[in-house]
Amino acid sequence: MNNYTEFAMSIAKEAGAFLKEKIGEKHMVSYKGEIDLVTEIDKISEEMLVSGITGKFPHHDILSEESVKIDRGAEFRWVIDPLDGTTNYAHGYPVFCVSVALERGGEIIVGVIYDPMMEEIFVAEEGKGAFLNGNKVLVSSTQEMTKSLLATGFPYDIRENPDNNLNHFKNMALKAQAVRRAGSAALDLAYIAAGRFDGFWELRLKPWDTAAGWLMVKEAGGRVTDIFGKDYRLKSPHILASNGKIHGEMTDTLKKGASECSSS
């Protein structure tokens, strides 16, 4: 394990412990959109992560959800989500995590996702595999969508934008064994890596939602593309991740949904 990974784990655990301590309390909630909320806890967690990074690596860049962006043109950039699952957290629903990724020259080389409620830390290093609490994990062996457990989420502008995933959800639900919508994209990707979910898709996510999980799925033997099967990048508008074995079926189903939406 390299020093970057150990550092990412330490700051994710520190922020996660703070989140766990404060869950269930009454929080100050503000809105970035009609249903896109943020709490003071998001911002404090972000401050903890950013101060840790700038203290240890003062010349590195940082990209974070809650408006922090440090861009010096450095080789290394940290991509962080201080609280993935804010809506869950604000309601006291204990499904959320801290996500920390390190990018070097445009490639994610370290990914850490920490679930403080379950005390589970998912870790991936480029070329070295993916791990859960120190134990190596691999994607599932499910061969067919009809036997698969899938995960997804819905964009914050679901009420205004017709490209809101409802068509894809319907099609996937009719083909899979079941579909879950837990409210944390980073955890969904970590669960793909750990073999708990067989596939995951979502529309209009941001780099901090997917950076760590993207590496984790790849290092666990899975596949990550956009929803049409093209190469995935942090700026890609949509994501599809799977164990690789059902990826083609999922892509076909998503293409069908897109076609239905465009013809309606």
Written as tens digits, the pLDDT of the chain (264 aa) is 789 999 999 999 999 999 999 997 766 666 555 545 567 888 899 999 999 999 999 999 999 977 778 899 999 999 999 999 999 998 999 999 999 999 999 999 999 999 999 999 999 999 999 999 999 999 999 999 999 999 998 866 556 665 667 888 899 999 999 999 999 999 999 999 999 999 999 998 999 999 999 999 999 999 999 999 999 999 898 999 999 999 999 999 998 867 665 554
The torsion region of residue 136 among left (phi > 0), alpha (psi -120 to 50) and beta comes to: beta
Distance of CA 242 to the CA centre of its chain: 13
Residues 69 and 149 in one domain: no
pLDDT for the residue 97 = 98
109 and 167 in a common domain: no
Q: What pLDDT, on a 0 to 100 scale, did the predictor assign at position 65?
A: 79
- Domain shared by 158 and 232, yes or no: yes
CB neighbour class for 220 (10 Å; exposed up to 12, middle 13-18, buried from 19)? buried
What total of structural domains would you count in the chain?
2
Query: In this predicted structure, what is the pLDDT of residue 237?
Result: 85
User: CATH number for the domain including 15?
Assistant: 3.30.540.10
- Which of residues 116, 137, 158 is at a domain's end? 137
- Cα separation, 89 vs 100, whole angstroms: 18
Per-residue confidence (pLDDT) for residue 64, from 0 to 100: 92
Query: Does residue 129 share a domain with residue 7?
Result: yes
Range of the structural domain that residue 30 is part of: 3-137
Report the greatest alpha carbon distance in the chain.
53
What's the confidence (pLDDT) of residue 162? 57
Q: Write down the pLDDT at residue 234.
A: 92
Predicted local distance difference test score (pLDDT) of residue 181? 95
Same domain assignment for residues 9 and 132: yes
Whether residues 117 and 213 share a domain: the answer is: no
Residue 156 in tokens? 């914050």
* Whether residues 150 and 111 fall in one domain: no
